[in-house]
Amino acid sequence: MIWDNPKILFALLALPFIALFFIFEWRRRQKSCAVYASPQLFEKLTSRRPRAGIFARICAALAFAFFVIALAGPRWGLVSRKVEEKSSSVMIALDVSASMFCEDVKPTRFKASIAKIKYLLSILRSERYGLVGFAGRAFTICPLTGDIASLRMLLDELSAGEIPYPGTNIADALSKSAESFENDTNSRVIILLTDGENLQGNPAAILRELKGIRVFAIGVGTPEGEPIPVKDEDGKVTGYKKDDKGETVISRRDETLLLQIANATKGRYFPFDPANRDIEQIADAINSMDKDFMGESFSSSLEKKYPIPLAAALFFMLADFLLPFITRRKTFLDNIPAALALLFILSSPSMADDISRGNKAFKNKDFFKAEQHYREALKKKAGDAAYYNLGNTYYFMEKHDEAEKNYRKAATFDNPRLEEDLFYNMANNCYRKGELDGAIGLYRRVLRKNPASSDALHNLELALRQKSKDNGGQEGDKGEDERKEGGMSEDEMQRVMNLLEDMEKNSRKKQEKQPMPAVSQDW
């Protein structure tokens, strides 16, 4: 059993004083009656039964005690509730062409755009997101997913100029983003971050494909513009981009096309705002849209049992009220316990579940307050949900060691419904800590439970590639103990890597079938 408001139980300390008061008042009455008649004569004259008066006082005291217990909020018995999950589908189309190296927006157009995307992910977490990068052509970097942590990892690894197709093709970016929505019907949004200099394609021609999709465009850069820096492998500026006439190219923010696209799709255009008011307005617009039903999840908590002591309190209060009509007149002093109980009801703060309050704070990104509520829940022995939620809170506070401790405690409860999400988050936490072997083992554990988990497979690929990169692309001789520690032998790792490489080669073959267009403007 746990309590919502355990401090209220201190009110039970008043019971001995109430008992002493009743005894004192009873003796005072006995002495007063003795002045006028003997106890036997007084009982006959008033038809008063002494035992009935004692029972009435006991009922009043018990009513007070059970009211206090009800106010303290007892809980026991685990109950599960279905929660409907609804979200919008948001594709982010990010310009990664050479012009995004310009520094008219600090530190660069590209890095400032990445920061805006991360801010959006932090204030609007209940949506599904996907990422498309584009230059002369567009590529899907991340399909629609609810795994915000993985998307953040991809953003950290992304850099401008990586796509081997020079130029800027906004039309292809919009088309590729629209293809990603599949069967989503209600809330479909494309957030376009670019300087607006469209050098290839015809965006106006693909507006028909965007039926029912709202485009919010953010123009990155300034109207005055800047030269496009050319950098070496160390990131040092070696010169500036020149056109075919040998003149230095000045890249400027072009709002005309972005305004046209936003207006045609009932979206909005925003010039770049360093204070992120543009992102906040986009988030408000997405929140006001109809959401797609994504499925159901289960939330477990201890059931509130305050109606039981409350019913007992009302029963004893009723008994205290009725007994005087049978045996004696009810006096003001007899009403004191009931009055005190009612006073507690009126003055008591509303009772709320610590886990629910923690979840609300977590959703609002108030991780410090969420941590406090989850810790309060743990003091009341709330169980695996509190440990799991506290681990998630520490993860986003980047306290990865504390997150791991709480994830491990949640795992000891052996909850099958929580297992997949728990080990997936543990794997992400290991990845963040740089413990690639642990992350690989946990991702594999998730895939054994749910082979269809595309998020786990995608993150496993990232972890394997990072491990291969850290090892210099070579696998030396390792002992059997070291293989077991990561949960995957060299042969198994090689098979998974080969599978992922084959998938990537097939994707590249499809892309290579389309010849790379010759462009004179490669920025």
For residues 325 and 346, the model is more confident at: 325
DSSP alpha helix (H) spans, 73-158: 109-123, 148-157
- Rounded mean pLDDT of 431-451? 87
Residue 415 pairs in a beta bridge with none
Per-residue pLDDT tens digits for 155-166? 988 877 667 778
pLDDT value at residue 261: 93
Report yes or no: 151 and 163 within 8 Å, Cβ to Cβ. no
Among candidates 205, 201, 198, which has minimal Cα distance to 168?
Answer: 198
Per-residue pLDDT at 115 exceeds 70 = yes
Question: The domain 89-290: what is its CATH number?
Answer: 3.40.50.410
User: Which residue type does 493 have?
Assistant: M
What's domain 354-473's architecture? Alpha Horseshoe (1.25)
Confidence of residue 140 (pLDDT cuts 50, 70, 90): very high
Cα distances from 160 to residues 22, 28, 120, 367, 424, in angstroms, run 82, 91, 20, 32, 30
CB-facing half-sphere around the CA of 304: CA atoms within 13 A: 13
Per-residue pLDDT tens digits for 415-440? 777 888 888 899 999 988 889 888 89
- Of 28-37, 58-67, 114-123, highest mean pLDDT: 114-123
Confidence of residue 289 (pLDDT cuts 50, 70, 90): confident
Confidence of residue 253 (pLDDT cuts 50, 70, 90): very high
- For residue 412, the SS3 value is coil
Per-residue pLDDT tens digits for 38-68? 555 555 545 455 566 677 778 888 888 998 9
Domain ranges of the chain: 2-79+302-347, 89-290, 354-473
pLDDT value at residue 133: 94
The share of the chain scoring above pLDDT 70, in percent, equals 73
The share of the chain scoring above pLDDT 90, in percent, equals 24
Residue 227 pairs in a beta bridge with 250
pLDDT value at residue 475: 42
For residues 284 and 55, the model is more confident at: 284
pLDDT value at residue 469: 80
Spatial separation of the C-alpha atoms in residues 116 and 268, rounded to whole Å: 16
Lowest mean pLDDT among 29-43, 297-311, 508-522: 508-522
Per-residue pLDDT tens digits for 259-271? 999 999 999 999 9
Task: Give the global pTM.
Answer: 0.49
- Rounded mean pLDDT of 121-126? 83
Per-residue pLDDT tens digits for 346-372? 444 333 467 888 888 888 888 888 898
pLDDT value at residue 491: 57
Count Cβ neighbours within 10 Å for each residue of 333-372 and write b for 16 or more, e otherwise. ebebbbebbeebeeebeebebbbebbbebbeeeebebbbb
Per-residue pLDDT tens digits for 211-222? 889 999 999 999
Per-residue pLDDT at 189 exceeds 50 = yes
Per-residue pLDDT at 175 exceeds 70 = yes
- Rounded mean pLDDT of 324-352? 47
- Rounded mean pLDDT of 304-308? 87
Q: Do domains 89-290 and 354-473 have the same CATH topology?
A: no
Query: Quick one: how far is CA 492 from the chain centroid?
Result: 34
pLDDT value at residue 49: 55
- Rounded mean pLDDT of 455-464? 85
For residues 437 and 471, the model is more confident at: 437
Confidence of residue 381 (pLDDT cuts 50, 70, 90): low
pLDDT value at residue 518: 47
Q: DSSP letters of 357-396?
A: HHHHHHHTT-HHHHHHHHHHHHHTT--HHHHHHHHHHHHH
pLDDT value at residue 512: 47
Residue with tokens 């028909």: 208
CB-facing half-sphere around the CA of 252: CA atoms within 13 A: 7
Measure the CA angle with vertex 318, ends 313 and 322; round to 5°: 150
Q: Write phi, then psi, for 5 (nearest 5 degrees).
A: -130, 75
User: Which residue type does 312 have?
Assistant: A
Q: DSSP letters of 138-195?
A: EEEEEEEES-HHHHHHHHHH--TT-SSS-S--HHHHHHHHHHTTTT--S-EEEEEEE-
**Average pLDDT of the chain, as a whole number:** 78
Any idea how long the chain is? 523
pLDDT value at residue 167: 85
Confidence of residue 329 (pLDDT cuts 50, 70, 90): very low
Per-residue pLDDT tens digits for 87-110? 788 999 999 998 998 999 999 999
Measure the CA angle with vertex 469, ends 156 and 458; round to 5°: 55
Strands 74-87 and 2-3: antiparallel
User: Which residue type does 177 have?
Assistant: S
Spatial separation of the C-alpha atoms in residues 318 and 297, rounded to whole Å: 43
Strand locations in 237-382 (E)? 237-240, 250-251, 268-271, 292-304
pLDDT value at residue 500: 54
